[in-house]
Chain A
Amino acid sequence: MQKMATGRRRKQHFRRIHACSCGRASFKGEHSLIGGPGFSRVVCCNDPDWFEAPVLNYDSNYVRTTKYTLAMFLPKSLFEQFRRVANLYFLICAILSFTPLSPYLPVSNVLPLVVVIGVTMGKEALEDWKRKKQDIEVNNRKVKVHHSDGMFDNAKWMDLKVGDIVMVQKDEFFPADLILLSSSYEEATCFVETTNLDGETNLKLKQALDATSNFHEDSSFQNFEAVIKCEDPNANLYSFVGRLHLEKQEHPLAPQQLLLRGSKLRNTDFIYGVVVFTGHDTKLMQNSTAPPSKRSKIEKRMDKIVYFLFSIIVLISLIGSIFFGILTREDLENGRVTRWYLGPDETTKYYDPKRARVAAIFHFLTALMLYGYLIPISLYVSIEIVKVLQSVFINQDLHMYYEEADKPARARTSNLNEELGQVNTILSDKTGTLTCNSMEFMKCSVAGNAYGRGVTEVERALAGRNGSPLAQEVTDEEGRVEDSTEAGTSTKGFNFIDERVTNDSWVNEPRADVIQKFLQLLAICHTAIPEVDEETGKISYEAESPDEAAFVIAARELGFEFHERTQTSISLHEFDPISCSKVERSYKLLNILEFSSSRKRMSVIVRQKDGRILLLCKGADSVMFERLAKNGREFEEKTKEHINEYADAGLRTLVLAYRELDEEESNEFNTEFNKAKNSVSADREEMMDGVAEKIEKDLILLGATAVEDKLQNGVPECIDRLAQAGIKIWVLTGDKMETAINIGFACSLLRQGMKQIVISSETLEIKALEKVGGKTTVAEAFKENVRHQISEATKLLSTSTQNSGALALIIDGKSLALALEDDVKDMFLELALGCASVICCRSSPKQKALVTRLVKTTTGNTTLAIGDGANDVGMLQEADIGVGISGVEGMQICYFFYKNIAFGFTLFFFEAYASFSGQAIYNDWYISLYNVFFTSLPVIALGVFDQDVSARLCVKFPLLYQEGVQNILFSWFRILGWAFNGVLGATVIFFFCIRAMEHQAFRKGGEVVGLEILGTTMYTCVVWVVNCQMALSINYFTYVQHLFIWGGTIFWYMFLLAYGAMDPHISTTAYKVFIEACAPTPFFWLLTLFVVVSSLIPYFTYASIQVRFFPMYHQMIQYIRTDGQLEDPEYCDMVRQRSLRPTTVGYTARFEAKSKRFGPLTKVFL
């Protein structure tokens, strides 16, 4: 059995070796570069004591993905912290506070900084520790390494060295980049799964050099000696140039021999390989960009606001210093002191009236420190805490819990949660993200009859769409139930339900003969290999692509079981309609005309038992219909109709046709084809295609198949909602263009009637050029071509916007690489942004990352990348966010600025009454604890717990999301509005307080107000005002909010009591100020009440007018929630309708487009 299997494989591989040798020829030019710059790597295989090793000093195989090392943690994370302008500013202030310049005690200034920095660094350390643990796990994986004398021992991955010979067993990952030496197969081939690297799901075949292919035993490496010279480490996954010196002979090495770290050995028992790139030199690691300290857009905006605040500080400090200078100079009038009680004649440089200018400059520094409280020191740390808590809640959310795998959502970094509400473009990887990566045979059209009544995700979504969009979820629910019961009975890859065909009942159908041919074709025309489970006798198939497997499985399920493939024949267990029983039939395989993306079809030529020769062909409708014979077009109309229906349902269609050949024709073809195949000229493939072209004609149509690339649950709804919410979705995939387009259709990113702009590197012109021109000319011409295509498309874009036809851009990796070059990228981006959907296929991880970066930097939009594999890592890192929350992200920050401005300006106003001397009105500790304790907890509660609109309603009204995207809640206008509110608050608080507590007695006992009492009262007002302001702006009160807001306020009183009770040495001016002076005084309480209410009234009035007369979208929904429903159905209706809007992608759009096409039969929305 084993023997046979290898034999089969050999046949298959033979073809590929051909392809490969021609590839090698084209590498000739590059091979001459070896030894030169960029190609200097020398690897001495199997020689641990190699004398040059220390000189070359290659990386060890230890891989580190952490941001910090133990030694570097402190300096590096401190550096990260002080990279934030605000923190740096506070650091400088803290240092200055030890000089006499300081307006307050040094401790009171240093403590908050230490707390803030400490908390942030703790968080960083914790996150990095988690990464470290992961690294440790990977680095300690075991692999078998050759030691000496043909003995292989287990070693840790991290101990691997360049030149080591390793043995990797089935389903293991490769520990480093290896050169394949030999495998369990005689031809030294192996299968590799590279999903992690490039997202492609099919297995790739690798083949060792003939020279090394015979080392099948551990012992054969005892005396193995070789030297490999090859290129330096680089990030290109698809190229490799090298030379193997073995026994005085040189053998060229190509990517065909390179096994990459991150990929997995499949279907091969073991391989031997020699390590060429280790650790960070591997292509996987080269592709990964260093983990950046991601900083969210809000954070960057925050920096800008900090600069803004800083300029306010500088401005008011400047004003203060000028006044201070003038006032100080006046202290000495014509040599006569004026304010003698300040002792101006015997003074220090800080107050010297004789050198008032110097004093003013010093005072400027003092003022900078004093007004430093305008900058919210705790802003960053509060935001960090909010983010960490949000991640915890994301992880805890049962809505994001995947039951089957018992996996909750996991927020890997907490840095960017708030951006989730601002995503503008989603960049999605296809495989595994959108689809389940499994194909299911769903429907077919044979002889003009449509079979199969399975319902696709898209159809289900469309059906659910009928009528009210709000009723949709209910129908979804039912749909899903149905789905799960169906899934229980069906086989993987087969979801075909039609009693007319299944259980061999097709024999009773009118055109049973056509159906028979159709099924035979499915069972024969493919390149899959059957694997018979010896115990159960069940047959599974190993196919290049999952859709091919789906065909073979469908054929099997419908009675045409393909069970054996030899080099020359294909054997089936067939249901014979005449005898009504299973018979074994084998077909002699004459030729396989392979699938290629330019041909878009494949054919096999077989000889039946009765000697008839058949050409069986399947392919895309675009190429197949034109190849039909005149007499073969019987079902053409019907089939086309069905194909359109299928495509509309998001299915992937193929047209099936056949042709009978006579002996002569077949022979002639055979010779020509072989000639072409064996030619060594550059246009070999061209020739083969030409020959095939000649025979694939005059076909007779059998029908069409429809395969569903099974989408993940809910993908169509999700995409539709995202589209409704105005978020763009780009698909970046490693798959073939055809697959990518099909997925696009399946998930409604593409639809019939959408203009597709395809920018491909495989156009005819390019092909032609490649034949004649040299390498550079081709590249240039190619680039010109891409540029041309882009500019053409851009023109199209501008014309089509007028007629509002949606455009879709499809671009492949090679073209993408060029489109991303500096001079073209802007044009490309403009085009891409204008298109409703963008699909990039065949893109490498690095390109994915580049696209992401391009979108991010050029448009300044927030991007969200979704991906599941390691191949998406680059993209994920590059994107702003690595998944949706809507809410009041910006609100927190606005609030921070509000509260600090309110606080800071009271300090400033007081200065005007204290001859700008830099005396703070509040006690040092009140000031320093303001940000850290009394007012920042509510912000955390706001960030973590606030829900302006419940999750349910958010899903109902996707447009709500645009508030976040357009940053309505965090625009400059808003920020300035809040800043103004802050200044207003400060003005009300300050002036009302000083007017009320002027100079009269403030209590029955006749005592007057001193600095400490006025300070305490004013501070109490500030704490109340900012906390009440928070309460006013919050939409959602649970006990947590109450706890934090009122707790913060109560905490202030408790602090005042506790601090006031301490020894006067510590508490200084606050000693017993509350218990003795304020608390027993009605005036204090009355004033607090008055100031708090009157400083909130302006905002309250504004808010009530705004909500009532100029509501924002979320407020309308809130209104509905409270009472709109009963009271005002019309209004409710209006809001709901505004939430639906014309979109260009998603099934809603598809439905609309369809209804436009089919006239007014269907209900039209909006």
Chain B
Amino acid sequence: MDVDGEGVSAVATGDRTIPMHPGRHEAFHQFTQQKLPACKPVLTPAWVISIFLLMGTIFIPIGLVTLHASQSVVEVVDRYDIECIPEAFKSNKLGYIKDSSIPKNCSRFLKVYKRMKAPIYIYYQLDNYYQNHRRYVKSRNDQQLLHGLKYNGTSSCKPEQTNNGLPIVPCGLIAWSLFNDTYEFIRGASELTVNRKNIAWKSDRDHKFGKHVYPFNFQNGTLIGGGMLDPRIHLSDQEDLIVWMRTAALPTFRKLYGRIEEDLNADDVIVVNLMNNYNTYSFGGKKKLVLSTSSWLGGKNDFLGVAYISVGSSCIFVCFVFILLHMKNRRPYGGHNLFVLEQERHL
């Protein structure tokens, strides 16, 4: 019973000195004997408390800044898929959308509730649209997009691989189902210019879609999917297509349509003349038109900011609970016995 703190220091002296091989490098020796200088972090209460506190103090400010950035974005969303169907066709939406003889034009009024600074991004948003379906994602051919008709191995494009015995460029379901609603924006009397250049990733335009590849035999089949392509423009310039072909990750997604490079003032009313061509009615998808500004963090989404703040504050909360518990309980003495003798277990 006479052991005290000194016991531990005796441990240090008890370490035997082991003869070293002459000529071996010190560091190598440390390595082979597993005696490298090491830091051995132990979760002492002091560490735990300071780490939680640190987390809290870092996260809350980040959260505030992030949230502010998101709040500063102005976003105008308008769902038009239902409204743009004439009363007569309300019960037969599919018939309306499939009948090419019926004019598809439709006008929407958007009210800007807060001043929007240029550039204002125009997105179309689709709901319940599985661009991430395996069959869909795989149904394209990157080689053909880059090299055009020179490339033949397009079996992955089935069923939109050939038509009337001729290859389709661009082939595959993705291209075939190209989104083809169009929008025109009118403020007051003047039409707002929509810049539809530079909406796709530069790497896609330069390296994935060929400058010498022109659409060929596209949408010539019996079954017409989505939009048509101008066969005189090479693929690298067909930015609609390029944007569309970067498949979305989730069934609800937005895609960039263009930019308005003018500021919009609060209470401006924008008239949108759109062509409601794209069929989302057969699978019950929604179509929305979105106008949005952007901050350094992108578009409007409070999630990250709120999450940062809540995780930060819960860190601080845990920190206080821990301090409280720590003060209340001294070190556990005796406590539960982990080591039941093997022998005892057998009997």
Interface residue ranges, A against B (CB under 8 Å):
103, 336-343, 345-348, 350-351, 393, 396-399, 401, 403, 424, 467-471, 473-474, 477, 726, 728, 801, 830, 833-834, 836, 859, 861, 913-915, 917-919, 921, 945, 947, 952-953, 956, 959, 962-963, 965-966, 968, 992, 994-1015, 1035-1040, 1064-1065, 1068, 1071-1072, 1076-1077, 1081-1083, 1086-1087, 1090, 1093-1094, 1097, 1100-1101, 1103-1105, 1107-1113, 1115, 1118-1123, 1125-1126, 1128-1129, 1131-1134, 1136, 1141, 1163
Contacts of B346 in A (CB 8 A): 830, 833-834, 859
Q: Is B106 an interface residue when CB atoms closer than 8 A count as contact?
A: no
User: What's the minimum C-beta distance from B212 to chain A, rounded to whole angstroms?
Assistant: 16
Minimum distance in angstroms from A1063 CB to a CB of chain B: 8
Contact pick for A1007, options B7, B201, B343, CB 8 Å: B201
A340 touches B283 (CB 8 A): yes
Q: Which 4 A-B pairs have the closest CB atoms?
A: A1000-B299, A341-B177, A473-B14, A1001-B299
Q: Would A1113 and B303 count as touching, CB distance under 8 A?
A: no
B318 at the interface (CB under 8 A from A): yes
Do A1038 and B347 touch across chains, with their CB atoms under 8 A apart? no
Q: Which of B78-86, B186-194, B244-252 interfaces with chain A? A: B244-252
Partner among A398, A1008, A1128 whose Cβ is within 8 Å of the Cβ of B256? A1008
Interface string of B109-133 (1 = CB under 8 A from A): 0000000000101010100011111
> Which B positions have Cβ atoms within 8 angstroms of A?
1-5, 7-16, 18-20, 31-34, 36-45, 48, 51, 55, 59, 62, 66, 75, 94, 119, 121, 123, 125, 129-137, 139, 142-143, 146, 158-160, 173, 176-177, 201-203, 207-208, 223, 225-226, 246-256, 259, 279, 282-284, 292, 294-301, 303-304, 307-308, 311, 315, 318, 322, 325-326, 329, 331-336, 338-343, 346-347
Given contacts A801-B347, A919-B133, A1090-B311, contact A1003 B298 (CB under 8 A): yes
Which residue from chain B places its CB closest to the CB of A424 in the assembled complex? B342
Q: B292 to A1001, Cβ gap below 8 A?
A: yes
Residues of the A chain whose Cβ atoms lie less than 8 Å from the Cβ of B139 = 343
Known: A913-B251, A999-B252. A1120 touches B121 (CB 8 A): no
Q: How far is the CA of A350 from the CA of B133 in the complex (A)?
A: 13
Asked if A1119 and B44 sit within 8 Å, CB to CB, the answer is yes
**CB-defined A-B contacts under 8 Å, sample of 28:** A338-B283, A398-B19, A467-B2, A468-B3, A474-B10, A728-B343, A914-B130, A917-B132, A919-B137, A963-B338, A994-B250, A998-B303, A1000-B254, A1002-B297, A1004-B298, A1006-B119, A1008-B248, A1010-B249, A1037-B41, A1064-B207, A1086-B62, A1104-B45, A1104-B48, A1107-B42, A1110-B336, A1112-B338, A1125-B5, A1132-B7
CB-based contact B20/A834 at 8 Å: no
Known: A340-B279, A1112-B338, A1136-B3. A1119 touches B42 (CB 8 A): yes
B328 to chain A, nearest CB (A): 11
Q: Which of B10, B40, B143, B247 contacts A470 (CB 8 A)?
A: B10
> Which residues from A are CB-within-8-Å of B38?
947, 1036-1038
When the two chains form their complex, are residues A343 and B160 in contact, meaning their CB atoms are under 8 A apart?
Answer: yes
Set of chain A residues within 8 Å of B318, measured between Cβ atoms: 1101
Contacts of B225 in A (CB 8 A): 340-341
- What CA separation (Å) do A996 and B334 show in the bound complex? 48
Q: Do B33 and A396 have beta carbons less than 8 Å apart?
A: yes
A342-B173, A1008-B248 provided; 4 other pairs, C-beta below 8 A?
Answer: A341-B129, A1003-B294, A1097-B55, A1108-B322
A-B contact count (CB 8 A): 333
* Residue with the highest number of chain B CB atoms closer than 10 Å, among A336, A915, A1039, A1141: A915
Closest to A1041 in B: B38
Q: Is the CB of B311 within 8 A of A1097?
A: yes
Selected from A345, A347, A1004, A1038, the residue in CB contact (under 8 A) with B294 is: A1004
- Tell me which of A398, A945, A992, A1105 contacts B307 (CB under 8 A): A992
A947 near B34 with CB under 8 A, answer yes
**Cβ–Cβ contact A1001 & B298, under 8 A:** yes
CB of B282 within 8 A of CB of A1038, answer no
Given A1119-B42, A1132-B8 in contact, is the A834-B343 Cβ separation under 8 Å?
A: yes
B304 near A1132 (CB under 8 angstroms)? no
Are A966 and B339 neighbours in the complex by a CB distance under 8 Å?
yes
CB distance from B231 to the nearest CB of A (A): 22
Residues of B within 8 A of A338 (CB): 282-284
| B307 & A1100 in contact (Cβ 8 Å cutoff) | no
Query: With A and B bound together, what is the CA distance between A951 and B300 in angstroms?
Result: 56
User: Whole-angstrom distance from the CB of B52 to the nearest CB of chain A?
Assistant: 8
**A1119 vs B40: C-alpha distance in the bound complex, in angstroms?**
11
Chain A residues with Cβ below 8 Å from B44 are 1119, 1122-1123
Q: Which of A337, A473, A1036, A1082 interacts with B40 by CB under 8 Å?
A: A1036
Q: How far is the CA of A666 from the CA of B160 in the complex (A)?
A: 119
Q: Does A998 lie within 8 Å of B33, measured CB to CB?
A: no
Q: How far is the CA of A1038 from the CA of B41 in the complex (A)?
A: 11
Give the residues in chain A near B300, CB-CB below 8 Å. Answer: 1000
Q: Given A340-B225, A342-B130, A1002-B298, answer yes or no on A468-B2 (Cβ-Cβ < 8 Å).
A: yes
Q: In the bound complex, how far is the Cα of B63 from the Cα of A1090, in angstroms?
A: 10
Specify which of B135, B279, B315 lies most central, judged by the most chain A CB atoms within 10 Å of its CB: B135
Q: Which residues of B lie under 8 Å from residue A966 when comparing CB positions?
A: 338-340, 342
Task: Report chain B residues within 8 Å CB of A953.
Answer: 11
B332 x A468 contact (CB < 8 A): no
B19 touches A1136 (CB 8 A): no
**Given the interface contacts A1001-B121, A1064-B146, A1110-B332, does A968 sit within 8 Å of B338 by beta carbon?**
yes
**Min CB–CB distance B178 → chain A (angstroms):** 10
Chain A residue nearest to B337 (CB atoms) is A1138
Find chain A residues with CB under 8 A from B249 CB: 913, 921, 994, 997, 1009-1011, 1013-1015
Whole-angstrom CA separation of A995 from B207 in the bound complex: 31
Q: Which residues of A sit under 8 angstroms from B333, Cβ to Cβ? A: 1131, 1134
- The interface residues of chain A lying within 8 Å CB-to-CB of B301 are 996, 998, 1000
Closest-by-CB residue of A relative to B70 is: A1000
Q: A1006-B121, A1037-B38, A1037-B40 are in contact. Are A474 and B13 (CB under 8 A)?
A: yes
A1004 contacts B37, C-beta separation under 8 Å: no
What chain B residues lie within 8 Å of A343 (beta carbons)?
Answer: 135, 139, 159-160, 173, 176
Residues of A within 8 A of B254 (CB): 999-1001, 1008
Q: How far is the CB of A907 from chain B (nearest CB, A)?
A: 13
CB distance from B5 to the nearest CB of A (A): 5
Cα of A994 to Cα of B307 in the assembled complex, Å: 13
A103 to B256, CA, bound (A): 29
Contact, CB under 8 Å: B304 / A1068: no
| Residues in chain B near residue A474, CB distance under 8 A | 10, 13-14
Contacts of B338 in A (CB 8 A): 962-963, 966, 968, 1112-1113
Pairwise interchain contact B134-A919, C-beta atoms closer than 8 A: yes
B298 touches A1131 (CB 8 A): no
| Cβ-defined contact, B133 with A1086, below 8 A | no
The answer to whether B134 and A347 have CB atoms under 8 Å apart is no
The distance in angstroms between the C-alpha atoms of A1000 and B301, with both chains bound, is 7
Do the beta carbons of B42 and A1118 come within 8 Å of each other? Answer: yes
Knowing A952-B11, A968-B338, A1086-B304, the reply to whether A342 touches B133 (Cβ < 8 A) is: yes
Contacts of A963 in B (CB 8 A): 338
- Decide: B296 and A470 in contact? CB cutoff 8 A: no
By a CB distance below 8 angstroms, the chain A residues around B202 are: 1076
- Which of A467, A1072, A1110 makes the CB contact (< 8 A) with B203? A1072
B163 CB, min distance to chain A CBs, angstroms: 12
In angstroms, Cα B4 to Cα A133, docked, is: 55
B48 and A103 contact, CB distance less than 8 A: no
* B8 lies within 8 A of A833 (CB): no
Query: Closest A-chain residue to B130, C-beta based?
Result: A915
Do B135 and A342 have beta carbons less than 8 Å apart?
Answer: yes
The docked-state distance in angstroms from the alpha carbon of A1071 to that of B201 is 11
What's the Cα separation between A82 and B143 when bound, in Å?
38
Instruction: Give the chain B neighbours of A962 by CB distance below 8 A.
Output: 338-339
Residues of B within 8 A of A341 (CB): 129, 136, 173, 176-177, 225-226
A682 vs chain B, min Cβ distance (A): 44
